Amino acid sequence: MNETIELALKALEAQLNQPLETALEACARCGICAEACHYYRAEPKVEHIPAYRAEQLRSVYRHEHDFLSKLFPIWTRSKKLDEPTLANLTEIAFSQCTLCRRCTINCPLGVDTPLMMRAIRTMASAAGTAPEILVMLADAAIEKGRDPSFYKEMFLEQIREMEHQLRDITGDETATIPVEKQGAKILYVPLAGAHTILPPAVVFNAAKADWTLSIFESANYGVFLADMKRAKEVARRIVDEANRLGVQEIVIAECGHAYASYRWDVPNWFAGEFDFKVRSLIEVLAEYIQEGKINVDPTAIPESVTYHDSCNLARNGGLIEEPRYVLGKITTDFREMTPNKAEAICCGGGGGLVALAEYAERRITAGKPKAEQIKKTGARIVVAACENCRLQIGDLNERYNLNVRITALTDLVVRAMRLPQPLPGTEAEHLFEDEKAVVTK
Amino acid sequence: MLISQLLALAGLVAGLFGIYLRYTETKHRVLPTDQSLIKGNISHGITYAFTKGMMPWAKESTRIHMLAYLRGIGFHVGIFTAIGIVIINPFWEYLPPIIFLILFWILGIAAVLGAAGGIMRIVEHNLRGLSLPDDHFAVWLTTLFITVAGLAVINDSFVIPMYIVSAITFIYIPLGKIRHCLYFFFARIFFGKFFGRRAIFPHPQAVK
């Protein structure tokens, strides 16, 4: 057995806990999960049935663990892990599954197929066959955490410039973007880019929140790799920062995988060191509107709006009503996609797929069911509270001629706050011609 | 008769022992603890997983494949009824005749549903692609088991075949795909824990 295979098998063994063994054993291969998967909906073939994908790992597992399979491999199609099999598994886990868990909720037994796909990703990461770009992005984030001084000065300079913009937008000369503020109540963790800093800064200032901006970004490519070591290293930067500043809660930018991991997984990785609440920016927006901390005009968004439930936020994260509450307060024509909420169809951009250029065509093809859903609503604005979903829906917009604008929830809230100036680069400045008249009425 | 009864008993003991071994093997594996702040309710989630969540209208998949799902439910009702019948065979003489007639119909329908499932695995493209020899064998074995149990309740000459087929079925349970009967419970519990904790199933209104 060569080293690659040995490492992959070792990684599988190390992960075999009760939930994973259950997922590997429970499937009855009834095939009812087929239509739950957006890959199957877009291209109905056996290879796109979640149970079929999972079978590829099960065949390896059975070879190692099943008595009957050891005696009669043909009976259960068990097979020894070899390099072509590992390559096939890696391809499946990274390019044909976004870990959306729609198959799980549609399985009569509740088989957690994404758990198996994660197990494969872990095996691939351990064996060195995982997509290089994800490894590079994760390692870059880890490096940044080791020595933030290298880029910190430049970052602070950008923030000072952003502060000027913030004051122009809000008309408030005292508005600030505090960084590394000791004892602040909230540590807000953005994504890379001003678009996830400026709009929340407007909201935090308007609500007079006691907040500070993280010098790191919330994206965690180690999570996509299902590489616990890397994922933990990336998360440690923020956990350490939160502990150092003594904040009470971490607020995660509009990002699906970052929210799901910091809210539900990271507390388990840092037991004892994790003494703060984790919320999504969406929950904070809902709270501020509910408590009257920010004022929004209920008629501010007259265009038809629909909301895309990011799988990591809704089905895996439990953030289902909060965005709808916010949208209910700022829109006059809100249209649900069908199905929605926990049953929402994945857009196809999750699981790190957006970062993998080699699978772009496959990703956009698999996004067709989402594109059709959006089209059916007839909405002109699609709100997605996840950066990867927004990027994917942007691609779907072009490919399937959806003629929609894609926006973050916070951007829409800021627009509803009726500030002296619109946010730069947001839809308020780029309305469709026929909508300009409506909005300016 | 006695030999076939002993055979069935031996099969039952072996099957139960095999399932016990599977159970202990899985229980010995690590059960990850979750220290994240709970949002929903785990026990509500588990209750949902075994009740409302199993209803044919609860999932998009079962709404699409309603007939296939109900066929599966009927088939499984037949399997458990047949197991019950075999176990209580020594007490059959105390049962009123109407019960035998009801059991015959339940098992008869279940056998037809089982055979339908077996045929679907052969003729339906997706199912054929998914199925292993183990799946084909398991569905036909259990269908045969239900069939002979159903015939045995109305005709004594099928009692010995019922015991023999029971013995084979019981022994096969922990060895092949039928062992999903054990993992079903694990899977639904983990499903309930995961989605219940996160307030996804059952879904409360998070913001009033």
Residues A14 and A80 in one domain: yes
pLDDT score, position A422: 82
Mark yes or no for CB contact B69/A325 under 8 Å.
no
CA distances from residue B153 to A312, B72, B138, B168 in whole angstroms, order as listed: 52, 23, 23, 19
Percentages helix, strand, coil for chain A (3-state, rounded to 5) are: 60, 10, 35
Contact call for residues B8 and B163 (beta carbons, < 8 A): yes
Distance CA A2, CA A7 (A): 9
CB-based contact (8 Å) between A268 and chain B?
Answer: yes
pLDDT digits (tens, 9 = 90+) for A362-378: 999 999 999 999 999 99
pLDDT score, position B205: 62
Residue A71: how many other CB atoms lie within 10 Å: 10
List, as own/partner pairs, every contact residues B56-59 make where C-beta atoms lie below 8 angstroms and the sequence separation is at least 24, other chains included.
Answer: B59/A105, B59/A106, B59/A108
Residues A9 and A42 in one domain: yes
pLDDT score, position A428: 46
A52, closest residue in chain B (CA to CA) = B130
Q: Phi-psi category of A245—alpha, beta or left, where left has phi over 0 and alpha has psi -120 to 50?
A: alpha
Domain boundary among A251, A266, A287: A287
Domain count, chain A: 3
Token pair listed for A383 = 């709100």
Residues A389 and A272 in one domain: no
Mark yes or no for CB contact A22/B134 under 8 Å.
no
B60, closest residue in chain A (CA to CA) = A106
Residues A268 and A322 in one domain: no
Residue B8 placed within a domain: no
Domain count, chain B: 1
Rounded average pLDDT over A194-202: 96
CATH number of the domain to which A214 belongs: 3.40.50
Rounded average pLDDT over A319-342: 97
Token pair listed for A118 = 């994660």
Q: Which residues of chain B make contact with A264, given a CB cutoff of 8 A?
A: 34, 36, 198
pLDDT score, position B206: 47
Mark yes or no for CB contact A29/B26 under 8 Å.
no
Domain boundary among A129, A164, A186: A129
Contact call for residues A248 and A210 (beta carbons, < 8 A): no
Measure CB to CB from residue B131 to each of A29, A111, A278 and give the nearest one.
A29
Measure CB to CB from residue A318 to each of B29, B40, B124 and give the nearest one.
B40
Tell me the residue ranges of DSSP E strands in A246-340.
249-252, 277-280, 301-308, 331-335
pLDDT score, position A100: 98
Domain boundary among A129, A159, A183: A129
Mutate which of A17, A30, A77, A261 to test chain B, going by most B C-beta atoms within 10 A? Answer: A30
Measure CB to CB from residue B127 to each of A31, A36, A290 and give the nearest one.
A31
Q: Which residues of chain A make contact with B180, given a CB cutoff of 8 A?
A: 25-28, 109
pLDDT score, position A271: 84
A68, closest residue in chain B (CA to CA) = B175
Confidence of residue A334 (pLDDT cuts 50, 70, 90): very high
Residues A231 and A267 in one domain: yes
Residue B64 placed within a domain: no
Q: How far is A39 from chain B (nearest CA, A)?
A: 15
Residues A139 and A155 in one domain: yes
Residues of chain B where predicted confidence (pLDDT) is lower than 70: 205-208
For residue A437, pLDDT over 50 is answered with no
Q: Which residue has the tokens 């219940």?
A: B196
Q: Which residues of chain A make contact with B175, given a CB cutoff of 8 A?
A: 67-68
Q: How far is B82 from chain A (nearest CA, A)?
A: 20
Q: How far is A288 from chain B (nearest CA, A)?
A: 12
Measure CB to CB from residue A26 to each of B33, B186, B200 and give the nearest one.
B186
Distance CA B171, CA B152 (A): 20
Distance CA B62, CA B52 (A): 13
For residue A430, pLDDT over 90 is answered with no
Residue B172 placed within a domain: yes
Measure CB to CB from residue B26 to each of A18, A112, A290 and give the nearest one.
A18
User: Which has the closest alpha carbon to B142: B100, B80, B67?
Assistant: B80
pLDDT score, position A426: 59
pLDDT score, position A441: 39
Partnered with residue A277 across adjacent β-strands are: A249
Confidence of residue A421 (pLDDT cuts 50, 70, 90): confident
pLDDT score, position A251: 98
Q: How far is B59 from chain A (nearest CA, A)?
A: 5
Residues A308 and A336 in one domain: yes
State the alpha helices, DSSP H only, in B51-132.
60-64, 66-87, 97-123, 125-130
Q: For residue A393, what are the contacts with CB-CB under 8 A and spacing of at least 6?
A: A308, A347, A349, A367, A370, A374, A382, A384, A404, A406
| Structural domain span for residue A35 | 3-129
* ipTM rounded to 2 decimals: 0.95
Per-residue exposure over A96-125, b if at least 16 CB sit within 10 Å of its own CB, e if not: bbbbbbbbbbbbbbbbbbbbbbbbbbbbbb
Residues A365 and A305 in one domain: yes
Residues A389 and A266 in one domain: no
pLDDT digits (tens, 9 = 90+) for A380-392: 999 999 999 999 9
Rounded average pLDDT over A123-132: 98
What is the percent of chain A with per-residue pLDDT over 70, rounded to a whole number?
96
Contact call for residues A256 and A318 (beta carbons, < 8 A): no
pLDDT digits (tens, 9 = 90+) for A85-118: 999 999 999 999 999 999 999 999 999 999 999 9
pLDDT, averaged across chain A:
94
Distance CA A397, CA A375 (A): 10
Q: How far is A357 from chain B (nearest CA, A)?
A: 30
CATH number of the domain to which A62 belongs: 1.10.1060
Q: How far is A2 from chain B (nearest CA, A)?
A: 27
Length of chain B: 208
| Structural domain span for residue B133 | 76-197
pLDDT score, position A175: 97
